[in-house]
């Protein structure tokens, strides 16, 4: 009986040790090379790339002077057949309201809508490549601190987004801008505080759309039909997984949002001037470039680059860098 009891204790000890070695009996660590790179509660110290964490989890603040900049270009070096295939697939899918979606007829009341049809509304949106730069537009670029840390965001940077709106339109039959970043909340004193930034979806077409949102565990799916000139506000929680926007009425319509608990995220330029109603300019000198201002000089972070079809251009773990005053990082996408 004693021998059997000792054997039981030995087996239990080995099982417990195995669980410890596997980091919590099956739970993943931030270093896991998972394609989704889903947000998890950060642990203090250890690990790299600290994704967005849960409220109430104590994190150390990233020290440094928050006046650095990181910039570069994402160059397209892929197979041109991908672009041709994407365009062919779009043409096959574009059936409902095609006469309106592809011709952009002027509305009865031009002041109430954006009547100008642009190429990015009727061409494939997966691979937008600048004519002068060869840069790939609509690529997400962002940094994250080490696990267990949070950015100590200066007040002047928070003030820039306070009560501001991220506006995504549905002109004709596309989501524009095609990709967007949101910064609805940030970490402070052990909890999440709201920035005051709003995300608005607007239907500025002459036909009805809906705005279906899906993706991640922190943000529940939603779907609302928007009649012409209608809009909706959507509240998001920071999460590592992208939010996909779609419209079941026009099944080819896609757009993407990534939601952060800091402002150090952007998308590569497509030469847009939204104040002028221009969603894209393929001849722009900055097409495919990115710039993130106000990053903490001296901090060790990880840089992430992600594209809707190519997925991770960096590793899912990101690329570790120590930020200087001026940081230049270029990438090839193929």
Residues 51-90 have pLDDT tens digits of 444 555 789 999 989 999 999 999 999 999 999 999 999 9
| Calpha distance 92→245 (Å, rounded) | 20
Segment 236-284, tens digit of pLDDT: 999 989 999 999 999 999 999 999 999 999 999 999 998 888 999 999 9
Question: What is the reported pLDDT for 195?
Answer: 96
Cα–Cα distance between 135 and 267 in angstroms, integer?
A: 12
Q: Which residues of the chain are under the pLDDT cut of 70? A: 1-56, 104-115
Give the range of the structural domain holding residue 193, as residue numbers without chain letter. Answer: 60-333
Bond preceding residue 192 cis, omega within 30 of 0: no
Phi-psi region of 316 (alpha: psi -120 to 50; beta: other; left: phi over 0): alpha
55 falls within a domain: no
Phi and psi for 178 in degrees, rounded to 5? -70, -35
pTM: 0.82
Helix (H) or strand (E) holding 75: strand 65-76
**What pLDDT sits at residue 240?**
87
- Look at residue 206 and tell me if it is in a domain: yes
- 200 domain-assigned: yes
Q: For residue 12, is it within any domain?
A: no
Judge whether 172 lies within some domain: yes
Helix (H, G, I), strand (E, B) or coil at 10: helix
Secondary element (H or E) of residue 229: none
Residue 117: the pLDDT is 84
Nearest to residue 181, comparing CAs of 252, 247, 121, 268?
268
Total number of domains in the chain = 1
Note whether residue 268 is domain-resident. Answer: yes
End-to-end C-alpha distance for the chain, whole angstroms = 65
Give the HSE-up count for residue 291: Cα atoms under 13 Å, Cβ half-sphere.
Answer: 10
Residue pair 147/181 in contact by the 8 Å Cβ criterion:
no
Instruction: Identify whether the C-beta of residue 223 lies closer than 8 Å to the C-beta of residue 245.
Output: no
For residue 256 the two structure tokens come to 């993407």
Distance CA 284, CA 272 (A): 9
Question: Residue 231 is part of a domain; what is its CATH number?
Answer: 2.60.40.420
Residue 39 counted as domain residue: no
Give the integer Cα–Cα distance in Å for 276 and 191.
Answer: 39
Q: Give the CA distances from residue 225 to residues 100, 106, 221, 308, in Å, rounded to whole numbers and listed in that order.
A: 18, 22, 14, 24
* Total Cβ atoms within 10 A of residue 288: 28
Q: Is residue 2 part of a domain?
A: no
- The residues near 214 (Cβ < 8 Å, ≥ 6 apart) are 221, 243, 244, 246
As beta bridge partners, residue 192 has 187
Alpha helix ranges (H) inside 22-94: 80-93
């Amino acid at each position: 009986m004693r021998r059997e009891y000792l054997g039981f204790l030995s087996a239990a000890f080995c099982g417990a040790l195995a669980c410890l070695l596997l980091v919590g009996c099956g739970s993943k660590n931030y270093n896991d090379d998972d394609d989704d790179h889903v947000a998890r509660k950060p642990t203090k110290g250890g690990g790299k790339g600290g994704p967005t964490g849960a409220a109430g989890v104590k994190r150390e603040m990233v020290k440094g002077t928050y006046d650095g900049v990181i910039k570069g270009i994402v160059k397209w070096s892929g197979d041109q057949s991908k672009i041709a295939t994407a365009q062919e697939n779009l043409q096959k899918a574009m059936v409902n309201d095609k006469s309106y979606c592809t011709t952009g007829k002027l509305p009865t009341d031009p002041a109430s809508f954006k009547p100008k049809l642009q190429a990015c509304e009727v061409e494939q949106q997966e691979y937008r490549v600048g004519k002068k730069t060869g840069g790939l537009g609509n690529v997400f670029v962002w940094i994250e601190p080490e696990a267990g840390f949070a950015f100590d965001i200066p007040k002047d940077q928070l003030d820039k987004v306070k009560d501001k709106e991220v506006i995504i339109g549905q002109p004709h039959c596309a989501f524009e801008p095609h990709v967007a970043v949101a910064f609805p909340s940030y970490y402070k004193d052990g909890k999440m505080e709201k920035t005051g930034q709003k995300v608005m979806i607007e239907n500025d077409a002459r036909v009805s759309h809906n705005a279906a949102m899906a993706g991640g565990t922190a943000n529940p799916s939603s779907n609302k039909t928007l009649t012409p000139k209608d809009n909706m506000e959507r509240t998001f929680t920071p999460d590592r997984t992208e939010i996909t926007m779609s419209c079941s009425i026009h099944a080819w319509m896609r757009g993407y949002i990534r939601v952060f608990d800091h402002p150090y995220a952007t998308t590569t330029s497509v030469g847009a001037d939204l104040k002028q109603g221009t969603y894209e300019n393929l001849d722009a000198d900055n097409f495919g470039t990115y710039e993130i201002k106000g990053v903490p000089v001296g901090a060790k972070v990880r840089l992430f680059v992600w594209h809707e079809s190519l997925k991770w251009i960096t590793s899912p773990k990101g690329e570790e860098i120590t930020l200087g005053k001026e940081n230049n990082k270029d990438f090839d996408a193929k």
